[in-house]
Amino acid sequence: MESEGRWKGRRFRRRGSVLLTRRCVTVISNFPQDYPKDSRCLWVFEGVESATKITSCCRTLHLQHSRSCKQDKLIFGDGDGRKEKFCGRKRGGLAWESETGWLSLFFRSNARGQRRGFTCNVCASGPPPITSPFCTCGRRNIPLTPSRIIGGVPTYPQEYPWQVGITKPLHMRPYCGGTIISNTWILTAAHCNVQVDDVVLIGAHNWCQCQPPPLRIQVKQVYNSPDYNQYTRDSDIALLEVSREIPFPVDNSIAPVCLPYQSIYNETGSAIATGWGVTYPEGKRSCVLRDADIPTMRDAACSYWWPGKITASMMCAGIDVKGTCSFDVGGPLVSGPTGGTGPFVQIGVTSWWAAMCDRPQVFTRVMEFIPWIKATSGNESNSCLPWS
């Protein structure tokens, strides 16, 4: 955008027009105070030539509820005549996209029934990145000063270019994590219970602010492992086929992880877990993707901590309240060579843990499912060469 700003709803009619480039502006009602009665506010956002999509991410949306939103309402529209109205409370946030380069936001309140209102980030993104003719897997975008979930720290944007979030249509907050393994396939946990038309967030970092604005691609098909047991979490792994190709740009901002076959497989030692889960037991979910270095352990030690519950499809990693926990489900556990650059191999899928996250976490062992992954995805999951 040419400028960044904040607007507050007024009691009188108001119109604002903003030219967007690739930054974001914040639009609020009177939040955190109740919005005024009898308000009419209209904002219009137009992208410059390079901006092909405008996304509004409303982390807070709490309006008076009414049938068919006949009372207080927030209405989104685009240049093709598409409109949707919302009211009530959206606890998971609200994401609404316009692909026309034009977005309008209209707020109306009546003379009664005030609520806290809304706060929305409106962001413009450029055209979809162009896929590089030479793609590699497992390359972490490591900064000059490396960063180092539970016990973890925030990552840099696109530091782990294979990490995705999974959410519901119109929602912002990921309910599960996942991993890019090819340009049309995502690896996650079966017990995430992903549905067709759910949304995969590609290139997401800070979901609360939609920064950078992620690619939102719908799920076309869901394939759970045929051996999945929802009661024991045995074979807790799933493949998602997405509705359009995922671009792998030359800057490696979006890229697949390597799968654990060929000569780059390593399941022992240190591993890295990533996710948007809680940052301490019984805490709140993280807005920003976080990572944690955690130790893996042998099967005997894993069974010691979880007697009678560990199967051949499972492995353990993490201890002392450091690792994955609530809402990190489906995310990756990756292993790489000393130095932290790559190629990184996904050795586990986050599956389950102790209630207080004070014992080693249990992951689905990816190596056990390579034949099923290759057969289900048509060998497309090996479409990129390991980075070196």
Structure confidence by residue, pLDDT tens digits, 206-256? 988 888 889 999 999 999 999 999 999 999 999 999 999 999 999 999 999
Specify whether 352 is located in the same domain as 261.
yes
307 and 250 part of one domain: yes
Give residues with Cβ within 8 angstroms of 339, minimum separation 6. Answer: none
Overall number of domains in the chain:
2
| 156/258 same-domain check | yes
| Of residues 150 and 13, more confidently modeled | 150
pLDDT at 345: 92
Where a domain ends, among 99, 125, 151? 125
Q: What is the predicted pLDDT for the residue at 264?
A: 59
Q: Is residue 387 part of a domain?
A: no
Residue 343: asked if its preceding bond is cis (omega within 30°), the reply is yes
CA distance 179 to 305: 27
* Mean of pLDDT over the chain: 84
Q: Is residue 384 part of a domain?
A: no
- pLDDT of residue 324 exceeding 80, the answer is no
Which of 204, 228, 244, 269 minimizes the C-alpha distance to 368?
228
Residues 215 and 121 in one domain: no
Does 79 fall in a domain? yes
The verdict on 103 and 164 lying in the same domain is no
Using the predicted structure, report yes or no on whether residue 316 has a pLDDT greater than 80: yes
Is residue 135's pLDDT more than 80?
yes
CATH of the domain at 107: 2.60.120.290
Q: What is the mean pLDDT of residues 12-37?
A: 72
Look at residue 131 and tell me if it is in a domain. no
- Pair 200, 295 in one domain: yes
Residue 227 and residue 350 in one domain: yes
Higher local confidence (pLDDT), 95 or 53: 95
358 lies in some domain: yes
Structure tokens at 83: 């409109």
**How long, in residues, is the chain?**
388
Where a domain ends, among 125, 158, 186?
125
Picking from 160, 149, 237, the residue whose alpha carbon sits closest to that of residue 192 is: 237
Residues of the domain holding 119? 6-125
Question: Would you say residue 8 has pLDDT above 50?
Answer: no
Which of residues 98 and 262 earns the better pLDDT score? 98
Same domain, 203 and 268: yes
Give pLDDT tens digits for 280-297: 555 577 889 998 888 898
The residue out of 77, 99, 125 marking a domain boundary is 125
In a shared domain, residues 120 and 151: no
The answer to whether residue 370 scores a pLDDT higher than 60 is yes
In a domain, 84, yes or no: yes
Residue with tokens 């994955």: 324
Asked if 261 and 313 sit in the same domain, the reply is yes
* Whether pLDDT at 7 is above 50: no
Residue 342 has pLDDT above 50, yes or no: yes
pLDDT(340) > 60: no
Give percent of the chain above pLDDT 70: 82
Give the residue-averaged pLDDT of 82-106: 90
Q: pLDDT confidence of 318, banded at 50, 70, 90?
A: confident
How are the residues of the chain apportioned to helix, strand and coil, as percentages rounded to the nearest 5?
A: 5, 40, 55
Does 120 lie in the same domain as 152? Answer: no
User: So what's the pLDDT on residue 201?
Assistant: 96
CATH number for 204: 2.40.10.10
Which tens digits make up the pLDDT trace of 106-134? 999 998 878 889 999 998 887 778 888 88
Query: Would you state the pLDDT for residue 310?
Result: 93
Same domain for 94 and 158, yes or no, is no
Q: Is the pLDDT of residue 172 over 50?
A: yes
**CA dist., res. 311 & res. 333, Å (int):** 18
